[in-house]
Amino acid sequence: MDELGLDAKFDLVIASCVFHHMPPQDRQMAIRYCYSRLKQGGHFIIFEHNPVNPVTRHLVKNCPVDADAVLLGMRETVERMRNAHLHIDESSYCLFFPQQLAALRPFVCASNQKRDAA
């Protein structure tokens, strides 16, 4: 990304399903780098897989593209953002349910909230 130049700044930086492909020891540096590319008042969004979802774990385990993947949870992500002194507007899991399974949403959300509060 050095070809962007050291002065390039952005209103929004999105890392979508990138961090689980990085060795855990490189993640903090990557967050700092992304933050350094933000304009004043810019936003940085990290979108990652939910590692407590058994379907996610199964898919990642069996996907050749994810052979190097080390899933990271919300707790690790939030901690790394705080270590970089970033303000966190929101942290949550986003689930996509088929309409036929919509009744299960409250159970999954309640389970995530309890786990993340611990």
The DSSP result for 56-112, as a single string, is HHHHHHT-GGGTT-----HHHHHHHHHHTT---S---------GGGGGGHHHHHHHH
Give the per-residue pLDDT at 1.
Answer: 54
The tokens of 47 are what? Answer: 């979108």
Per the model's pLDDT, the better-predicted residue between 91 and 99 turns out to be: 91
Q: Count the domains in the chain.
A: 1
Identify the domain containing residue 62 by its residue range.
2-92
Considering the domain boundaries, does residue 74 fall inside one?
Answer: yes
22 located within any domain = yes
In this prediction the pTM is 0.72
Q: pLDDT band at 56, cuts 50/70/90?
A: confident
Residue 79 has pLDDT above 50, yes or no: yes
The CATH number of residue 74's host domain is: 3.40.50.150
- Within a domain: residue 108? no
- Provide the token pair at 28: 């903090």
Q: Is the pLDDT of residue 32 over 90?
A: yes
Rounded CA gap, 79 and 2, in Å? 27
